[in-house]
Structure 1
Amino acid sequence: MSTQDSEDRTIRCLVAKVGLDGHDRGAHVIARAFRDAGFEVIYSGLHKSPDEIVQAAVQEDVDALGISILSGAHNTLVPKIVEGLESYDAFEDTLVLVGGIIPDEDRDELYEMGVDGIFGPGSSMAETIEFVRENAPER
């Protein structure tokens, strides 16, 4: 792929709501911001299981997976998604982001398991978009 091709490629993102968390305003806001930034965005809808999210990420061949979670179950659900991506050899090729309410004391564990970025309340859209642009894997 030439340098020009890689600069012009469209970044594919899955914005996913996992578990019983029914608060999706933030997911809709980031999905819209990603679309406005020129990303191709797939939204999972509410109440998806970790396996459904993994299946969607693999089938849609996404560059980035944004997991929106406000329920407090991030230490249970995010590892299942990471393990699922690994089982399909898709983890290394997928930028994994977590957005929502993630306590400071839980962040290191998420980063250690391979989460690439954590964006909580107050994170700027510009910062999040730039992070995806700079870190989405080359394909």
Structure 2
Amino acid sequence: MNKTLNRPIRVLVAKVGLDGHDRGAKVIATSLRDAGMEVIYTGLRQTPEMVVNTALQEDVDAIGISILSGAHMTVFPKVIDMMNQKGLTDVLVTGGGIIPEADMKKLQGIGVGELFPPGTTMKDIVTYIENWVVEHRNF
């Protein structure tokens, strides 16, 4: 549990679309759990609607989307749009995978948080989520 919160951080780890490679998502989920977070892993082939609905039902602090399929410029905007429609504006949307730097900047411009390429340390990801949640969802 994060020492500056009186509760564990809740993170939804999601694989959206037809991308069937989930080893990285499972490694992330395990690492976040090992860091004291409560992790909900959606499994493969989720739609943006399914991810946002699960985030609402599970009252998560953050959504982490793992994407290797190249569909990031479709998936992240759909998730952000659905979250805005449902009033889920205080939840971090982050993620990682194969995302070009220029696309990362565009996605961050629409409200996506930090995006992590392959090779990012687990410590960096954990620290980023912890710091974001303490700053934006400290209740």
Coarse TM-score class (shorter-chain normalised): over 0.9
TM-score (ref. length: structure 1): 0.93
1:98 aligns with 95
Match of 2:115 in 1: 118
Structure 1 vs Structure 2 CA RMSD: 1.2
CA contact (8 A) 2:5 2:138 kept: no
For 2:9, give the aligned amino acid.
I
Tell me, what secondary structure is at the counterpart of 1:131?
Answer: helix
In structure 2, C-alpha distance between the alignment counterparts of 1:7 and 1:39, rounded to whole Å: 11
Q: TM-score, normalised by structure 2?
A: 0.93
Q: Which runs of 5+ in 1 are unaligned?
A: none
* Cα distance in structure 2, aligned partners of 1:114 and 1:18: 18
The correspondence for 1:87, drawn from 85, 88, 99, is 85
User: Which ranges of structure 2 fall in alignment gaps of 5 or more residues?
Assistant: none
Seq. identity, %? 50
1:12 pairs with one of 3, 10, 13: 10
1:49 aligns to what? 47
Q: How many Å apart are 1:21 and its aligned residue?
A: 0.5
Asked whether the 8 Å contact 2:17–2:47 carries over to 1, the reply is: yes
Query: Which 4+ residue blocks in structure 1 deviate beyond 6 angstroms?
Result: none
